Structure formats: C-alpha cells, structure tokens
Amino acid sequence: LRLVGSEMCIRDRYFMSESFSRAARSAREMARMLLRWLVLALPVGLLCGGIGTAFHLAVEAVTELRGAHGWLLWLLPAAGLAIVALYKVTGCEGMGTNNVIRAVHSGESVSPLLVPAIFLGTVLTHLCGGSAGREGVAVQLGAAVSHNMGRRIPWFRDIPDAVPILTIAGMAAGFSGLFHAPLAAVCFALEVLAVGRLEYRALLPAVLAAVSANWVSAALGLETFQVALPDVDTAPFSVPILLLGVFSGIAGGIFTLLLKQGKSWAAKLFPNPLLRIAVCGAVLALLLFLCGKGRYTGLGTNLISLACNGETIYWFDFLGKLLFTVCTLAVGFQGGEVTPLFAIGACLGAVAAPLFGLPAVFGAALCYAAVFGSASNTWLAPICIGTEVFGFSCLPYFAVVCTVSRLCSGNRSMYGKQKPSPLFLQK
C-alpha cells in the first residue's frame, strides 16, 4: 500500500506539473498576443484618428465656404465629373463600404488609393452641396489604412485572420475618431459585417484602436456632440415609444430600398457614369436650391441642431433629407449615409413625438439612433450611439426603440454585402 501510495503521489505531481506548464505556456502566449495587438492596434488608432480629424476639418471648412458662397451649389455637376475622373484614375471605381465588408469576408485586398479618392471625393461633394454624410467615409478610410498595414507587416501574419481583424479595428477607429463614440464604434465594426454574429476575436484590437483614435481626435480639438434630454414621464414599453420604433424602422427600410433601387435606376437610365453624374448633378443642384435654398444640402447637421434644440422642424423635412440623400449617393457622388440618417431620424422624431404627448427633443433623440440602426441592420451600435450622445440615463428607452426599429426594418441593410455567414473565410 505504501508503494502504491507513493507511485500515485509521484503520478499526481507529474500531472500537476504538466498542467502548470501548459497553463504557463498559455499565459505566455496570451501575453505575447496582447503585446503584438498593442504594438499594432494602437498605431492604427492613432493614425486613423489623425486622418479622421483632417477629414472632419476639411468637410467643415468646405461646408462653411459653401455657406458663405451659395453659388458653389451650381458647380455640383462639375464636382461630379471630377469625382468620376478621380475614381477612374485611381482605379477605385465602385469601391465603398460594401467593398470593405467583402474584403473582410473573402480576404480581397483594399486598394490604398481608396484613401485619397474617398477623402477628396467626399470633400468635393460637400463643397458643392451634395446631401451626404461622413461617418461611412471615415469607416472606409480606417479600413483601408489598417488593411494595408496588416498586409505589409510580415511578423504579424502568423496570427489567424490577422488582416480581417485589423481591418475591423480600423473601421472602429475611423468611426470613433470622427464621432467621439468609441463604444458605438466598436459595436458597429463588430456587428455590421454579418447579421446575428459578433466576432469577439476582433474585440481587443477594435477597442484599442477606437479608444486611441478617440483620444487623438479629442487632443486635436474635435468637439463632442452631446445633448441633455428633458425628463419624461412615460415607461420604456409605453405605446408612444413602441410607435416611434415602428416609424423609425419603416423610415430606415424605405431609405435602404430607395438607395438600392435608385442606384439601379440611375445606371439603367444613364449607363455612362460621366453623363449620369453631370445631368443628374445639374437637376439635383436645381432642386436643392428650390427646396429651402440649401436646407437639405451637406451633412444635415443643421436639421439635427434644429430638432435637438426644439426649433421649427416641418413634417416633410425627414422626407426631403431622405430623398436628396438617396439621389446624391445613387447618381455617383461620394459620401457616407450615417449623418444624413441621424438627420432623418431627428426630424422624424421631432415631428412624431408631440403627436403622442412626448417632448419633441426626446423623440428626436430616440429616432436619431433608431433610424440609423434600421438602415444599417444593426442593434448594439444605435443603442450605444444614443446613450453616448444623449446620456446613459435613457438607455432603456434607446434599447426598446432600437429593438422595435430593428425588427420592423425587414432585415434589410444599406450595406448589400452584409450577410449572415461566417466572418472570416481567409485562411
């Protein structure tokens, strides 16, 4: 018995030492992986934060210039021709957020020339009054930068799916650096790629890149957009809140459907992209001038300010901004969709909320987030953007209205390459 007992003790000691050795090796490997992500994700965030800041300042500068010189609106067709020529020269024709999503799914390359092309193309669009956004552009900028960095660093390639993960981190950094919402940026980058699935392997680099990009843009002087909401005496699951979610879902679904069909109709009507953007740009400039003399031009931040400050918003403002944004993007002008969606939602909520006895500002805030979630087919990101902009005390309301909006969107997305499939197919 003593002999058997001593042999069992020796065996137990052996297995315990082996377990400790495996645990130590695993801990060393995790520490090594963490260090490598720190070394790469932080520079991605810093670089994307700097590029996002420069992009934001450029868009703001040309927007002020257009406001001081209204005649620039009539140069919209010329700006369109310059954009088409720029994309032709750089070889980036047809590239956009969908190409970034496809690159993550299939391992295709993202041209580094997309950075100057989308930067200059969007600035030209805003200089001449096109109704477009900037956050989607920032996501493309961040993805293009991080994707090409990942492909060009040899010692990084042995990490499984390193390039797609780093591309996601760049998307989060671009969104965060421009909008000062790192939590929403991380959630958006993780969930916009595939419906119903989050890739947690990209969580750490996405957080590192988003936080560092946010820090850079704040250090360079970009202001954070935040609004304090009034107190409301209603439950999150009340009928008015649910109806605002339904309206937001319908509005986001209409935007997605019209954007998809608009691109198809424009291409069939004018197969030549130069002729298409010149003719449609001229008509668009005339309509933008006639409809409020530029009320629906640019980002739509003027409408967001009016809605969030309780000033006059007309019942047709959300529809006008929706249609002009669809037309601008469908005919070939460059820009994002996110800020116009914020404007559409804010105008819709400011008009609909008083019908149910809710403050207009409160309704504007809820629909601000919910319409974006409906059109992008995301859930966590709109909840986070709502709380980061309007305060975490309203989290239950944003959770309910974004959930209802997401359910009413019909599972459609403005990003056609978003799909319910495994994210990382690159081996």
Per-residue pLDDT tens for 368-383? 999 999 999 899 999 9
Check residue 427 and give its pLDDT.
36
**CB neighbour class for 154 (10 Å; exposed up to 12, middle 13-18, buried from 19):** exposed
Q: The pTM is what?
A: 0.89
Check residue 395 and give its pLDDT.
94
- In percent, the amount of the chain with pLDDT more than 90 equals 53
Whether 285 shows a pLDDT value over 80: the answer reads yes
Per-residue model confidence as pLDDT tens digits over 201-260: 888 899 999 999 999 999 988 887 888 888 888 888 899 999 999 999 999 999 999 999
Render the burial of 279-298: b for 16+ CB within 10 Å, e for the rest: bbbeebbeebbeeeebbbbb
Check residue 7 and give its pLDDT.
55
Check residue 191 and give its pLDDT.
87
SS3 104: helix
> Are the beta carbons of 189 and 206 closer than 8 angstroms?
yes
Question: Please, which contacts does 221-225 make with residues 24 or more away whose CB atoms are closer than 8 Å?
Answer: 221/53, 222/53, 222/56, 222/177, 222/178, 222/180, 223/180, 224/180, 225/179, 225/180, 225/389
Whether 144 shows a pLDDT value over 80: the answer reads yes
Check residue 163 and give its pLDDT.
79
Distance CA 385, CA 359 (A): 20
Whether 20 shows a pLDDT value over 60: the answer reads no
- In percent, the amount of the chain with pLDDT more than 70 equals 85
From residue 318, alpha-carbon distances to 221, 321, 347, 368 in Å are: 31, 5, 5, 11
Q: Where are the alpha helices (DSSP H) in 180-272?
A: 182-191, 203-219, 239-269
Work out the mean pLDDT of the chain and round it to a whole number. 85
Q: What are phi and psi of 298, to 5 degrees?
A: 70, -150
Render the burial of 347-380: b for 16+ CB within 10 Å, e for the rest: bbbbbbbeeeebbbbbbbbbbbbbbbbbbbbbbb
